[in-house]
Structure formats: C-alpha cells, structure tokens
Amino acid sequence: MKTILIVEDDVSIGDLLAEALEREGYRAARAWSGTEALLLLERTRPDLVLLDLTLPGLSGEALLPRLSGIPVIVVSARTDTDSKVNMLFSGAADYVTKPFEIRELLARISLRLREAPACPALLERGGIALDVQARRVTVDGAEVHLTRTEYAILKLLMLSPGTVVTKSRILDSIGPDTPDCTESSLKTHLSHLRAKLPPGAVEAVWGIGYILK
C-alpha cells in the first residue's frame, strides 16, 4: 500500500484529502507543519507528499528541498505564475491550486506515482554490492551471507548513503517483513551486520541511528 503524506495546516482540507486518499486505497499520513513533517520523515519515508506552502513554523518552500527523492505535489492557494514556476524549478513534481477538484488531484497523484523511479536493481557503495532481485550481497566480489533482517537493514542504509537513518525509521521500514527485529534486538542485528562488512562501512551515530559511509 502506497503512503501519501499530507502536509496541511487546514483541518478541513486535510480531512478531505485523507478521506479521498483512503477511499482510493492509499495510506494517508498527516503533518500540520513543516517541522512536524520533518520529524515524521525521520521515522518513515512516504511514496508521495502533498505539500501546502503556507505552514506554521517551517514553510512549504523551506521544506521542499529536504524532500529530495520523494515526489511532491504542491497544493496551494497561490495562483500566481511565479510561485508555480519557482516550486517546479525547486523540485516539485506538480502544482495544484486551491480550490481543487479531488478527481483531478487523484489523477495527478496516480500519474506521479507511476513516474516515480523504482528501486535500482543493483546498489553499490564502498565495495559492497547488493543485488535486489537475487537478494545477494557481495563485498569486494565475495558473497556475504546475511540474515533476512541484516539484508533488510543493509538495503535501507544503501538507499540512503551518507545519510543518518534513525533507529525508529529502521524499525518502521523493515518491521513488517522482519518481526525478529525489535527495539531491543536492533543493536545486535547491526553489530552482526557490521562484522560482515568492511571496517567502518556502517557507523553508529550515538543516540540517533546509523550511517553507511
């Protein structure tokens, strides 16, 4: 099920969007401000974001550059051409003005999700290669045998190279497929994984999470 994050401080509009998305079979996540959206993104990665521009605290314009790699549809009352052009050049996939027709917005969402790039078939970093289809990992050409949980953690880290992945995001992202990975066992799984990879490939960021160098 695709998850769509609604970043909107207007309760009625947010409720309308959430109800429409859930009827279409999407999972709707909510954030009422740009700051709240950032906190949510530390725990999970949505498939698409519906972003209002006028938000309390961190504005939509300031949040947009921090949504790199996620399709973003701006949903705003601003109708001037400059706002639309600036947002599209800043990385938005689309721009819809309020008031909007929900059928048109749903069609745009479906289109942007189809356009979103799929996970690469081969992930490579620092001598580590992960073949997504074969579920095979090699280090400097030699195959490394990982448990299901170790593989899921490594794949998540390799999809976010050079970025700290929080513990909560790891648990939320891989939890449904790896029930043996819990908050108390995560450190053990990471320790076993790091022992199978080149020294320093995965570093712990104290109190926050882990990063693939």
The structure's pTM equals 0.59
Whether 61 and 108 share a structural domain: yes
Whether 59 and 159 share a structural domain: no
Tell me the pLDDT tens digit for each residue of 161-172: 888 888 888 887
DSSP state of 98: S
Q: How many other CB atoms are found less than 10 A from the CB of residue 213? A: 12
Structural domain ending residue among the three candidates 66, 100, 115: 115
pLDDT bin (cut points 50, 70, 90) of residue 108 is very high
CATH assignment at residue 10: 3.40.50.2300
Close Cβ partners of 195 (under 8 Å, ≥ 6 residues apart): none
Range of the domain at 24: 3-115
* Residue 57 identity (one-letter amino acid): G
Q: For the stretch 130-149, what's the b/e string if a residue is b when 16 or more beta carbons lie within 10 angstroms of its beta carbon?
A: beeeeeebeeeeeebebeeb
pLDDT bin (cut points 50, 70, 90) of residue 132 is confident
Sheet strand arrangement including 136-139: 122-125, 128-131, 136-139, 142-144
